[in-house]
Amino acid sequence: MKVLGIETSCDETGIAIYDGNSNQIIAEKLFSQAAKHSDYGGVVPELASRDHVRKLIPLLSDTINESGIKADALDGIAYTAGPGLRGPLLTGAALAQALSLGWGIPCVGIHHMEAHLLINLLEDPAPSFPFLTLLISGGHCLIIRANNFGEYEVLGQSRDDAVGEAFDKVAKLLDLGYPGGPKIEELATKGDPNAFNLPRPMTKEPHLDFSFSGLKTAVLYTVRNEENPSQTFKADLAASFQEAVADTLFLKSKKAMEQNGLDQLVIGGGVASNKYIRKRLIEGLKGNKIFFPPINRCTDNGAMVAITGHYRLNKTNISSDIIIRPKWNLSEL
């Protein structure tokens, strides 16, 4: 079975084709709008929608050309139905529904976070159910117990800011631009992670929820107290913030693995592309099996939608009444 995946939930237009026989992505194209939104310090939904409309068809035709197959060899279409921005979601949904009608093949709306989770099944070795998942993106920070395809228990989540959102806001405080994650990671390589003693919120409590707004506020006060922030000050603060996030994610993941008696942790979402956080989690959780997608598949992409579409079209009943769902809890799947 060959499935076309379409991702447009935020500011990346992603198209890919997954081949179930070889368990491989046979072609994929991605366009990131990040530069377009950087002047505004965040994603502008209307601009994002317009850009998806401009990019979808050219990327689709490039992906099909690269795959070497004809469009009539496709067996199904998957698109991100939510959670995400309403306008951008609609652009992908409209294209998917139109292609489905035109080509006479089924179409399925995918949950974005399930896609971030299942992309790891492309890796060798791949995780096997049941496993734990730490999803760290711009909109979410979740610890999930994945019991099987479509069977997910949310064990913990952020009560305020998502972890990527905290990176973006701290980058703004330091005048680094958008998206903040990669900019903080780069600046942090020049700083001392122990220069500032920042909080590790909720790590002493037995539950698995997160809170990142206090950490962000601690950074805000540190910036306010510095009259002329030097490059060294900014680098030290970026490194200390990144260290506080890494430490918090490590402590919560360790607790989740112990509480659940599971030794496999799958990590996904845009923040999982941070090499410092990857290293800290791998070192801290030594003795367990830790899975990360390749860096280019941590942030939003079409491949994760295509593989999830394959499993959804094969293994579960398709619910065709969901066109888009901007707010959608993973445990409702």
Angle 275-207-293 from CA coordinates, rounded to 5°:
25
Angle between helix axes 163-173 and 180-188 (nearest 10 degrees) is 70
Task: Give yes or no for a cis peptide into 125 (omega within 30° of 0).
Answer: yes
Q: Which is nearer to Zn ion, 90 or 174 (CB)?
A: 90
Is 52 in contact with 91 (CB distance < 8 Å)? yes
Distance of alpha carbon 147 from alpha carbon 133, whole angstroms: 11
The residue type of 311 is: Y
Q: Which is nearer to ligand KG4, 19 or 300 (CB)?
A: 300
Which DSSP category does 331 fall into? G
The item of Zn ion, ligand KG4, none sharing an interface with residue 201, based on CB under 5 to 8 Å by kind, is: none
Q: Which of residues 131-160 bind Zn ion (CB under 5 A)?
A: 137
Phi, psi of 5 (to 5 degrees): -115, 140
Q: Which is nearer to Zn ion, 105 or 249 (CB)?
A: 249
* Token pair recorded at residue 137: 């993106």
Total number of residues that touch Zn ion (CB under 5 A): 2
Which positions from 21 to 60 touch ligand KG4 by CB under 6 A, shown as an x/- string? ----------------------------------------
The residue type of 153 is: E
Which positions from 108 to 147 touch ligand KG4 by CB under 6 A, shown as an x/- string? -----------------------------xxx--------
Q: Does 300 bind Zn ion (CB under 5 A)?
A: yes
DSSP 3-state of 211: coil
Q: Which of residues 194-253 bind ligand KG4 (CB under 6 A)?
A: none
Q: Does 193 bind ligand KG4 (CB under 6 A)?
A: no
Residues lying near ligand KG4 in the complex (CB under 6 A) are found at 10, 137-139, 164-165, 167-168, 179-182, 185, 269-271, 273-274, 299-300
Site of interaction with Zn ion (CB under 5 A) = 137, 300
